Structure 1
Amino acid sequence: MAGGKETPRQKMIGMMYLVLTALLALQVSNAVLEKFAIIYETLEELSQTATSKNQKILSALIEEKGKSPDPKIVKALENSRQVRDLTKTTIESIEKLKATMKSLSGTTEIDEKLINDHSSKVATMMMSQPEGKAFEKLLNDYVTKLRELSGLDAKALPNLAKPPKEIEVFAKDEDHANKDFLTFTFENTPVIAALASVTQMQTEVLDYETKALERLKEIAGAGDVKFDRMVPMIRSKESIVAAGATYEADLFISASSTSFQPEMFMNGSKLQLFEENGIKMGKIKFTASGGAYNKDGFATKSFKAEIKLPEQTLERTVEYLVAQPTIKVTTGNAPTLYLNCGNNVTIEVPALGTSYNPSFSSSAAEIRKGDKPGKVTIIPSARKIAVNVSNGGTPIGVQNFDVKLIPEPRFVAYIGNTPVDLRQGIKPNQVRSLRIVIEPDENFKEEVPKDARYSIKDMEVIMGAGPVAKAQMRATNSSPDLGAWSNSAKSGDRIVFSIREAVRKTYTDKEEKVAIKSSNSVVVIPVN
């Protein structure tokens, strides 16, 4: 979070904050907080490694140039010692702060008591009490003094305690852009996560020390530090990716040289090389596959990284976590789907963000793509269906749907645009205006309007009194021509509509026969 081109550690804390805020909003489980304990322990190991490395840089510089009378070299050596002393003092202050954080949980160790502490005691301390401002000042003073000793400018050594508005990835985020450094780092943060954040900043301090010592080494004209070990390193954009998302990382050697051109491989495939700050790196990019998730929804995956040098091959197995993505479904107005109807559904996988490029399939439904990723129309052919969700060809998961039968429509008599009151009936002169309307269920019509289009194909109409029919006819639509019956219709007669065949026009404009039951297929209208 120091700004400029982000280091792996900077990207890790950015990932930590995003994951933390998202998980806090979801009321994180203790199992998730345990993952922060793992991150904390990893950062502690990185700090120890960096401290050892920086001490070796200083020792090598003193060994090579310690006896030089050159004032320029003498000054560089003295400044190097001051850089090491300054860093030691700064690290000691950070360690004291971490001990205070632990004590607020009533422990001195990273144990279950601390991990399970969801309280805001540490957050309150860092945002509202002197410890927070002291920590911020410690970081800012360290950077200021380091620039003075090394000659590096603010571009090479940006401020460590930066508010989100000065961090590119958060500058336009309305939720965070106006926060200060302490609020951004510690707001709503459990103890273990706060410890991880502070320890990450500790690794940044050591990273800055490395840059300062390397610069002073150049000023002193010392040769390359002779490392007794070369290690293949991975700089990943994210340590946790969702299944179907792109895993991206850079492979490089921790002790680089301009005297040879390395070859780099991932799982045996040669990587494209690029150079950053004089370090050759191999670009790793692939779509993460899911499966075999644990109870917390994570799957541990790995790949083999190789760097071939003139006289040796460096190998490393890199592990990363794949998070089981959550499939979010919105079914428009309907809570479930309707059989043989075009149900508009939005299927999203929020964790994939802009890399979401879905495809869908089902053995019991036709699925038509909409105008945006994830928008589909599902036409089920069974009462239960399973929709397979993939992203860029990688399976994500299966979404199950229950399917409802289409509710029966009603056959309603109308005079013009007014429904007939079957208890009061109609007058003889109104017979000519009679028609039958098929009215769909209101919810069905609202939820899938394009599937709620009905019409009559065959209907028998009889006028009579008692068992005697005075007139009858067959009609092939909902508005039979009854004009000739108006003059002969009398009070006491009945008009009987018997619907024999009706159809529903589907989402695909095909006609589907309506199952007609005797209980609702006859409409009797008295003439008064």
Structure 2
Amino acid sequence: VISDASGGKQSLRLSGKYTIRKPEVVITSASVQNLYYNCGNTINVDVPALGEDYNPKFTATSASVLPSKSNKRKVTIVPTGKKCVLGVSSLTNGQNIKIDNITYKVIRPPKPSIQLLVNGKLYNGASTINKKSKCVVRLKADADFRSALPRDARYMISNVDLLSARSLGAPSKVGSYSGSGKDALKGVPVSLGNKLKGDSPGTKIYFRIGKIYRVNFQNKKVLEKFGERDLYIGAVIK
């Protein structure tokens, strides 16, 4: 509507082409790029174009979605499949408006490494071990994974058995040490002296690790799968 020469109002019809842009979803996270399987992957999901009208609702395929109670833009995703599609909507002006779908690749957390400490030092696999040595079997979490998701990088060992090859037959179990309730990153102590009193120098011994569990952010135990040979550490006593 414009003013004409006589002071009246006149309507003009205008036509043109307009491009309607979908609001951009901005994902930020200080910890993860992919999503880790059965872990608490926390991300921030924002749609800056909506400003204060942004009232997000999240859905996900093959995953649980746990919205933050203190920050509406923060959500924790717990994937249970190989791929996860995060759906982002916003409840705006009384309507639930779909904004976008974001597809994530889901990867399994790296396995921890199994280590033997002898008198506080990492065993090199070649030296002989004194019967009076203080031995500890521990796990070491992958550094990047632990840095990204420390609450999901906790571990337990069910037990550690001590075996001795006292004859030409299969090694026999001479002791067992429970890891229940112990932080496997600190380790499970294994006492040698009392169990190997009758063993002569040069006897081959083995530390046999039982089941290994990862404890996730919900305190759920997830069994870690290792090959049979990976669960044995051999040594020779002196």
TM-score strictly above 0.5: yes
Match of 1:385 in 2: 84
Match of 1:476 in 2: 178
Alignment CA distance shift 1:342-1:417 (3 Å): farther
Report the Cα distance in structure 2 between the residues aligned to 1:401 and 1:470, rounded to whole angstroms: 48
Report the Cα distance in structure 1 between the residues aligned to 2:199 and 2:77, rounded to whole angstroms: 50
Match of 1:414 in 2: 117
Aligned length: 220
CA contact (8 A) 1:500 1:516 kept: no
Report the Cα distance in structure 1 between the residues aligned to 2:121 and 2:36, rounded to whole angstroms: 30
Alignment CA distance shift 1:438-1:351 (3 Å): same
CA contact (8 A) 1:411 1:438 kept: yes
Report the Cα distance in structure 2 between the residues aligned to 1:489 and 1:475, rounded to whole angstroms: 19
Match of 2:48 in 1: 350
CA contact (8 A) 2:162 2:208 kept: yes
CA contact (8 A) 1:367 1:379 kept: yes
Match of 1:397 in 2: 100
* Offset, 1:465: 5.0
Is 1:455 matched up with 2:156?
Answer: yes
Note the alpha carbon deviations across 1:115-143, whole angstroms, 9 max, x for none. xxxxxxxxxxxxxxxxxxxxxxxxxxxxx
Query: RCO higher in 1 or 2 (8 Å CA, sep ≥ 6)?
Result: 2
Note the alpha carbon deviations across 1:260-285, whole angstroms, 9 max, x for none. xxxxxxxxxxxxxxxxxxxxxxxxxx
Alignment CA distance shift 1:521-1:471 (3 Å): closer
Match of 1:222 in 2: none
Alignment CA distance shift 1:524-1:349 (3 Å): same
CA contact (8 A) 1:328 1:348 kept: yes
Letter in 2 for 1:439: K
Alignment CA distance shift 1:360-1:421 (3 Å): same
Structure 2 residue corresponding to 1:368, chosen from 66, 89, 105:
66
Match of 1:134 in 2: none
Is 1:326 matched up with 2:28?
Answer: no
State the secondary structure of the residue aligned to 1:55: coil
Note the alpha carbon deviations across 1:254-305, whole angstroms, 9 max, x for none. xxxxxxxxxxxxxxxxxxxxxxxxxxxxxxxxxxxxxxxxxx9x44xxxxxx
Match of 1:152 in 2: none
Is 1:56 matched up with 2:6?
Answer: yes
Alignment CA distance shift 1:354-1:490 (3 Å): farther
* Offset, 1:422: 1.4
CA contact (8 A) 1:428 1:490 kept: no
Letter in 2 for 1:55: A
CA contact (8 A) 1:408 1:440 kept: yes
TM-score, scaled to structure 1: 0.39
Alignment CA distance shift 1:467-1:349 (3 Å): farther
Higher strand share: 2
Note the alpha carbon deviations across 1:36-63, whole angstroms, 9 max, x for none. xxxxxxxxxxxxx63xx15222xxxxxx
* Offset, 1:344: 1.6
Report the Cα distance in structure 2 between the residues aligned to 1:471 and 1:339, rounded to whole angstroms: 36
Q: CA RMSD in A?
A: 2.6
TM-score, scaled to structure 2: 0.81
Is 1:492 matched up with 2:194?
Answer: no
* Offset, 1:493: 2.3
Report the Cα distance in structure 1 between the residues aligned to 2:218 and 2:46, rounded to whole angstroms: 25
Report the Cα distance in structure 2 between the residues aligned to 1:353 and 1:420, rounded to whole angstroms: 57
Report the Cα distance in structure 1 between the residues aligned to 2:162 and 2:131, rounded to whole angstroms: 16
* Offset, 1:404: 0.5
- Give 1:26-45 correspondences, 5 Å limit: none
CA contact (8 A) 1:410 1:520 kept: no
CA contact (8 A) 2:132 2:192 kept: no
Alignment CA distance shift 1:467-1:351 (3 Å): farther
CA contact (8 A) 1:413 1:436 kept: yes
* Offset, 1:516: 2.3
Note the alpha carbon deviations across 1:442-477, whole angstroms, 9 max, x for none. 222121111111111133211335646476123321
Alignment CA distance shift 1:489-1:54 (3 Å): farther
Higher helix share: 1
Alignment CA distance shift 1:411-1:362 (3 Å): same
Report the Cα distance in structure 1 between the residues aligned to 2:71 and 2:110, rounded to whole angstroms: 30
Report the Cα distance in structure 2 between the residues aligned to 1:394 and 1:466, rounded to whole angstroms: 74
CA contact (8 A) 1:428 1:489 kept: no
CA contact (8 A) 1:459 1:501 kept: no
Report the Cα distance in structure 1 between the residues aligned to 2:224 and 2:215, rounded to whole angstroms: 10
Note the alpha carbon deviations across 1:55-100, whole angstroms, 9 max, x for none. 222xxxxxxxxxxxxxxxxxxxxxxxxxxxxxxxxxxxxxxxxxxx
Q: Percent identity?
A: 21
* Residue ranges of structure 1 left out of the alignment (5+ in a row): 1-48, 58-224, 232-295, 300-322
Letter in 1 for 2:127: Q
